[in-house]
Chains A and B, each alone.
Chain A
């Protein structure tokens, strides 16, 4: 009953390499989100998904790809990592509903691109 988990927690990679960050939630929440956290910017939305096979761009999608073949998983791929993608990445989920429902956040993945 882990809730929402992310893996790996820490990752160091090199410029140009492909990297995939994993996110898994056990609540069967409809919505899932990927954010990046950078000093002075707070959290910025990269991509979100309203349900399996439905994804949409957020505020800063360039250089990232997502997929959602299963409700519980929402991987984020950096196709060719750049130094500017060094950041802390948070996955979040929430259930669908008629009024606001809280987003629950994972513990984050700290990614360093050398």
Chain B
């Protein structure tokens, strides 16, 4: 079975600074990888996904993530954050053979300060 570890539970960052959220996964088979964002009092929405091909994936709102198979990582980055990026971010994985099941990490709370 797959599992996900998000290495930072909280990340405070100043506006216009870069941010990186770290995610490691474990699985014995090929996987799909995802980052979801949850704004306060809302449901989750997909930021970006890695299915295959280029290891650098670009998503919405200026976010990107890099898949590193040897390190089993899928870190999320944004070069310059805005106050509106304050949210909780979840890394998730699904096995290609059972791609309807998502396993989520515990989440990283990003707080952007002026």
Contacts and interface: CB of A to CB of B under 8 A. Distances in A.
Task: Tell me if A's interface is mostly helix, strand, loop or mixed.
Answer: strand
B109 to A, nearest CB: 10
A94 B100 contact: yes
Interface string A18-43: 00000000000001000100001111
Contact of A42 (B32, B96, B101, B104): B104
Contacts of B99: 99-100
A103 B102 CA distance: 9
Given A50-B100, A94-B100, A99-B51, A42 B44 contact: no
A42 B100 contact: no
A74 interface: no
Contact of A90 (B44, B101, B107): B44
Contacts of B41: 107
A105 B46 CA distance: 9
Contacts of B45: 105
Contact of A100 (B42, B44, B94): B94
A65 interface: no
A33 to B, nearest CB: 8
A40 B10 CA distance: 11
Interface residues of B, number: 24
B51 A42 contact: no
B42 A107 contact: yes
A45 interface: yes
Given A42-B4, A105-B44, 16 more contacts: A41-B106, A42-B6, A42-B90, A42-B107, A43-B44, A43-B90, A43-B102, A45-B102, A50-B100, A58-B101, A90-B43, A94-B100, A100-B51, A103-B46, A107-B43, A108-B43
A100 B49 contact: yes
A43 B100 contact: no
19 contacts: A35-B104, A42-B6, A42-B105, A43-B44, A43-B90, A45-B103, A48-B100, A58-B101, A94-B100, A99-B51, A99-B99, A100-B32, A100-B99, A102-B46, A105-B44, A106-B43, A107-B42, A108-B42, A108-B43
